[in-house]
């Protein structure tokens, strides 16, 4: 079986999984990613003539396919959120972004520097790559489709929850906010001591202020423009009205169009496209609020996301079969375990100090900081930069890929097995609390 035939099998598995797995896995200690990675591993390990997968040798393809999965996932994440966008309503999100993200990145970088002996630039890169919660692999704990949680989200008791909202909104923003940290690592790798003040100021002005500002501004403008096309044309011409009359063959495709427009334009203007896509999705979602067509937009984005996710995860399983984790040392493995079970949970819990958030919700939000496909993208992107091509003379890129691959695999297994039981237990606790208060 050659590469073409294996490609067809991957597509078939993705299509089948999209149709069948949601019903089979509901409320079970299993997840899409676990199944896809396992299938990929056995497929590439057992089929004679299966190509060896190496993300370093196929760096450009790895970067582009993971980039595509993340931006489509960000659109779906933004369309899920049934909470109006205000500073107060999104307090949990700001705390996770302002406390958990930099704490996770910083602690991971310090351990990588002091324990693994990595160069400062490489340690910063490792922290940045592993810091963000992934929007792609969070199917067991993310927010539901639009319009499913409006009543709950309007309830003032849930200002600091719910868990699903907090993790989805965090994942939506922090995949873009990890970019300044990644670019900081790139800047450190190419800097000299003599010009440290210059590159640091340049990093802050360009990589932090300018690129975040451009991503946020263009995301809002493009999301608003698409919303007007969808919902503000004359009734006989509006897209949403046409779909309501039964013209449903391409219902929801505008979500994909908005994703590509927002990302492409923002990247051309040197802004952060990840932020632009998520902001565009939020702007689009808040335009009409309770319109039924948001469900179509969301469902289309989710279908495309699952197909792409399945392909990447099957290839990830194939890469593991080809020896991706071979360079991993036991010390590096311990660091990966510490990130999942110690560093992120502590950072998450500290994010809610001084709030009224319940301890069960704090614990679940803190623990389920899923690492995923976004980490693959950031690593492949950074290693393609000239500054890190020099650093690779001192530390093999294979080791970085082994560490990242191990952490993502560990997250897929641990979080995939525990997410449904944890959410079921939390829901029962909330129902019991509400009953006792009543």
Can you spell out the DSSP letters for 315-336? HHHHHHHTTTTTT--HHHHHHH
Q: What is the DSSP letter of 140?
A: T
Q: What is the pLDDT of residues 130-147, one digit of tens each?
A: 998 887 766 567 666 665
- Structure-block tokens of residue 375: 């980490």
Residue that wins the pLDDT comparison between 355 and 282? 282
Q: What is the DSSP letter of 133?
A: P
CB 230 within 8 A of CB 276: no
pLDDT classification of 151: cutoffs 50, 70, 90: very low
Q: Is 40 a residue whose pLDDT tops 80? A: yes
- Rounded distance, CA 273 to CA 277, Å? 6
pLDDT, averaged across the chain: 83
CATH number of the domain at 143, please. 1.20.1530.20
Q: Is 250 a residue whose pLDDT tops 90? A: no
Contacts of 184 (CB under 8 A, 6+ apart): 124, 128, 203, 207
Q: What is the pLDDT of residues 281-326, one digit of tens each?
A: 999 988 887 777 888 888 888 888 888 888 899 899 999 999 999 9
Q: Which domain holds residue 226?
A: 3-437
CB 93 within 8 A of CB 169: yes
Characterize 13-48 residue by residue with b for buried, 16 or more Cβ atoms within 10 angstroms of its Cβ, and e for exposed.
bbeebbeebeeebeeeeebbbbbbbbbbbebbeebe
Q: What is the pLDDT of residues 256-287, one digit of tens each?
A: 999 999 999 999 999 999 999 999 999 998 88
Provide the 10 A C-beta neighbour count for residue 393: 7
pLDDT classification of 229: cutoffs 50, 70, 90: confident
pLDDT classification of 236: cutoffs 50, 70, 90: very low
pLDDT classification of 81: cutoffs 50, 70, 90: confident
Q: Is 47 a residue whose pLDDT tops 80? A: no
pLDDT classification of 340: cutoffs 50, 70, 90: very high
Per-residue pLDDT, 217: 97
- Rounded distance, CA 307 to CA 13, Å? 9
Nearest to 158 by CA among 434, 410, 351, 438: 434
SS3 for 175? helix
Per-residue pLDDT, 160: 47
Q: Is the pTM of this model over 0.85?
A: yes
Q: Is 436 a residue whose pLDDT tops 80? A: no
pLDDT classification of 401: cutoffs 50, 70, 90: very high
Q: What is the pLDDT of residues 386-397, one digit of tens each?
A: 666 665 545 678
Q: What is the pLDDT of residues 158-208, one digit of tens each?
A: 444 578 888 888 988 987 888 999 999 888 887 765 566 678 888 999 999
Q: What is the DSSP letter of 105?
A: H
Q: State how many domains the chain has.
A: 1
Residue that wins the pLDDT comparison between 246 and 362? 362
């Amino acid at each position: 079986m050659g590469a073409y035939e294996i490609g067809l099998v991957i597509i078939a598995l993705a299509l089948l999984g999209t149709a069948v797995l949601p019903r089979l896995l509901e409320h079970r200690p299993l997840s899409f990613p676990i199944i896809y990675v396992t299938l990929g591993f056995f497929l590439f390990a057992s089929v004679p003539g299966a190509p060896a997968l190496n993300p370093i040798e196929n760096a450009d393809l790895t970067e582009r396919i993971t980039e595509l999965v993340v931006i489509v996932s960000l659109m779906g994440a933004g369309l899920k959120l049934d909470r109006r966008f205000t500073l107060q309503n999104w307090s949990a999100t700001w705390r996770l972004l302002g406390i958990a993200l930099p704490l996770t990145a910083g602690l991971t970088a310090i351990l990588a520097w002091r324990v693994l002996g990595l160069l400062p630039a490489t340690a910063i890169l490792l922290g940045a790559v592993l810091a963000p919660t992934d929007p792609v692999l969070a199917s067991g704990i993310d927010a539901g489709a639009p319009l499913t949680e409006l009543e709950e989200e309007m309830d003032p008791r849930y200002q600091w929850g719910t868990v699903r909202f907090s993790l989805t909104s965090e994942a939506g923003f922090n995949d873009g906010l990890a970019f300044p940290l990644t670019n900081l690592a790139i800047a450190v790798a190419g800097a000299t001591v003599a010009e440290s003040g210059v590159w640091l100021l340049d990093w802050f002005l360009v990589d932090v202020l300018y690129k975040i500002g451009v991503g946020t501004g263009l995301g809002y403008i493009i999301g608003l423009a698409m919303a007007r096309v969808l919902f503000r044309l004359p009734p006989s011409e509006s897209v949403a009205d046409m779909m309501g009359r039964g013209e449903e063959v391409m219902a929801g495709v505008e979500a994909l169009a908005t994703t590509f427009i927002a990302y492409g334009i923002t990247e051309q203007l040197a802004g952060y496209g990840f932020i632009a896509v998520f902001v565009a999705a939020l702007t689009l979602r808040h335009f009409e609020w309770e319109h039924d067509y948001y469900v179509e937009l969301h469902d289309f984005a989710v279908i495309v996301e699952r197909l792409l996710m399945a392909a990447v995860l099957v290839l990830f399983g194939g890469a593991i079969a080809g020896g991706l984790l071979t360079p991993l040392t036991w010390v590096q493995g311990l660091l990966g375990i510490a990130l999942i079970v110690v560093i992120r949970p502590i950072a998450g819990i500290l994010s809610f100090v001084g709030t009224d958030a319940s301890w069960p919700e704090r614990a679940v939000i803190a623990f389920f900081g899923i690492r995923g496909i976004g980490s693959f993208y950031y690593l492949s992107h950074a290693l393609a930069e000239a500054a890190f091509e020099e650093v690779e003379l001192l530390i093999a890129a294979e080791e970085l890929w082994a560490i990242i691959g191990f952490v993502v695999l560990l997250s897929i297994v641990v979080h995939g097995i525990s997410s449904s039981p944890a959410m079921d237990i939390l829901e029962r606790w909330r129902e019991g609390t509400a009953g006792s208060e009543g």
